Structure 1
Amino acid sequence: MADHPRQAYEAARAFSAFQQLLCDMNPEDIHETIPFFHHTRRRFDHLEKAAAADSHGRLNTCRKELDFIRRRERCVDVLLDLLEQGELPVRIVHNDTKTNNVMLDTETYEAVCVIDLDTVMPGSVLYDFGDTVRTMTSPAAEDEEDLDKTFMRMPMFEAVVKGYLKTARDFITPQEVSKLAFSGPLITLETGIRFLTDYQEGDVYFKTKKERHNLYRARTQLRLAESMEEQMPEMEECVRKCFQTVNG
């Protein structure tokens, strides 16, 4: 998470600058280290298979979360369809845009460089932006059990948008801009799906430190996605105003 809007601004600016530096490279020349990493449909279908199998007898402990996700199935194909139709460009993106993957000056918060490049792959800039929103706008830890502490902070979202568009304005398309706000809850939902799937399958992917750890993680992500949904009109207006401002 980010503790101050300046941190969120600088981290988002660093990731968009990273994307800009790679704009002239062919995404097909980059190896896909984790195939279908942000393929939300595959993530959704994987969860459904895990729930159907219920191999560890955990289904009854997470039916509420599963129903929450199922009610949002219509969202999982939105970006995938646009990419398939060529309405969104495939670019080279980072795919793990959390705060600790940007080196920030401890006094000024100014971004120095982006690190941890093992997930750099072809994808959409919206994946990176959505994950930046997910990781920087909530004041709660990723496994916070008190869901009242999990919500999206609009000032942090505004800082992310301003920082990202500071550089992204030079390459981003109108269609990408139109989906910036949407990408936040989508990638947050996707992350919740991943945690819930791992919980159903017996905690085989994410390291856990306590009982039901991945279930708590899933609940936190789903609550954050819900908070974003509740603020979607304000998020979209924020994107519109910020994009207008950076383009003078």
Structure 2
Amino acid sequence: MAGAVALVAVLAVGLALGRSLATSTAPTPAPGTALAALATLDVGAEDPFDGYVRESFAWREDVDRNGCDTRNDVLRRDLTELDIREGTNDCKVDSGVLADPYTGARIDFEIGAGPSSDGGIQIDHVVALADAWVTGAQSWSEDTMVQFGNDPLNLLAVDGPTNQAKGSGDASEWLPPSTAYRCAYVARQIAVKDAYDLRVTPSEHDAMAEVLAACPDEPLPTRAATQTPRGLP
């Protein structure tokens, strides 16, 4: 019996040592990567959903005062082959082509065409407004809420039905059907949460880490790289 106990003890020490060595030899994420930023985010439970009002984020407000609402700013940034309506200060997008990041499909956009007035394209808050509300936004000022609701860093033109399927899910609940875009998508969510000091839940953190394990050098998106057009001066 004593020999068996000793053997168990030796095995336990060996396993612990193996875990310690694995931890100590794990590569440190490179600066500027999404994986490095993920390690800095606070991890915690969600706040109660009470008090959420979507309108508080003033989505589509012309926050940059360029004479164009946020939806059209994002359409002009993300679509190609644009047809801009005359007399709208280079603002109103009537048609264009979207290479949809979420599905990988081509969408020929025409305002008002198809079963919905959005022409099949919606603007997604990559970190959903409702998700932000339960991970730190409840303490924000009105100005910060409006900024978040219209921040180009957090906005993408995407396929409408796919965006509806996402709802307010975080990375543990929804990822883009196009697996080729998942690294960039998670990196974008991390950039937004980092910029606004939002938490991630434990399950969200683990889902993000699992995606980034396949692309540890995925860069963290920047505001400079995601800005929308400013229109005419």
TM-score above 0.5: no
Instruction: Identify, as 1 or 2, the structure richer in helix.
Output: 1
| TM-score, structure 1 as length reference | 0.28
TM-score normalised per structure 2: 0.29
Considering fraction of residues, name the structure with more strand: 2
